[in-house]
Amino acid sequence: MIRFWEVVRRDLRLALRQGSDSLMVVTFFVLTVVLFPFGIGPEAGILERVAAGVLWVTALLASMLSLDRLFQTDYEDGSLELLVLTPTSLMVVVLAKVLAHWLTTGLPLLAAAPILAVLLHMNADGFAILLLTMLIGTPVLSLIGAIGAALVLGARRGGVLVSLLILPLYVPVLIFGVGAIDAAVQGRSAEPHLLILGALLAACLPLAPWATAAALRQALE
């Protein structure tokens, strides 16, 4: 656990020192959502109907912006090889890096979502479920994204390849995230959608680090 938190602190320091990734993710999220009222019109009823989908699709795309650099910098400067050679399990290292990625991308998206929901005239009944779905769903996006980032490590145009690899895997998170919000807004129970999102997170927590560690070892051979 000590090594786990050391890796988390290291990645957070690097992210805060650069600052561009988190700022880019949040800026993309905000600007893209703000553009929708201009594109589909300011009518409150229309914006309310599409608010959940717009927020989740935009958050999904924003979370992918920094994925190609999740392991790339460590791969280029040799740090990744040192991390692999340490006595700590590579799965623990992957989990630490995923946590740091979520704290610098997923958490800012979670903080910005309610403000943008107001802009899109989302029904007040959906606010709590919006935050809950993003709290459960954004870690799943980071875990799945880590697999794609490891698979394309060292490849040219890795960002494009990551998008092609992981977008299909993001679809269940999108479906059940939006479904939970729509159910709450319409007065139905959001619990089934939340349970499925929780199951996805529970499945990804052990499986995604294992798959990512295997892909990293393959990239370093």
In terms of phi and psi (left: phi > 0; alpha: psi -120 to 50; beta: otherwise), the region of 115 is: alpha
Cα–Cα dist 30/37, whole Å: 12
What is the model's pLDDT at position 31? 92
Cα–Cα dist 41/160, whole Å: 31
pTM of the predicted model as reported, rounded to 2 decimal places: 0.89
Nearest to 108 by CA among 219, 178, 196, 20: 20
What is the model's pLDDT at position 172? 93
What is the model's pLDDT at position 173? 94
Cα–Cα dist 175/215, whole Å: 27
Q: Which two tokens stand for residue 23?
A: 């700022």
Classify residue 88 by its DSSP letter: S
pLDDT means per 10 residues, the chain with 221 residues, are 79 75 85 88 85 92 82 76 77 89 89 90 89 94 90 70 85 94 90 94 93 84 71
Cα–Cα dist 181/204, whole Å: 22
Q: Which two tokens stand for residue 50?
A: 């599409």
Q: Which residues contact 136 (CB under 8 A, 6 or more apart)?
A: 194, 197, 198, 201
Q: What is the amino acid identity at position 161?
A: L
Q: Which residues contact 184 (CB under 8 A, 6 or more apart)?
A: 125, 126, 128, 129, 190
What is the model's pLDDT at position 150? 86
Q: What angle do CA 117, 122, 127 make, to 5 degrees?
A: 70
What is the model's pLDDT at position 194? 94
Cα–Cα dist 70/146, whole Å: 7
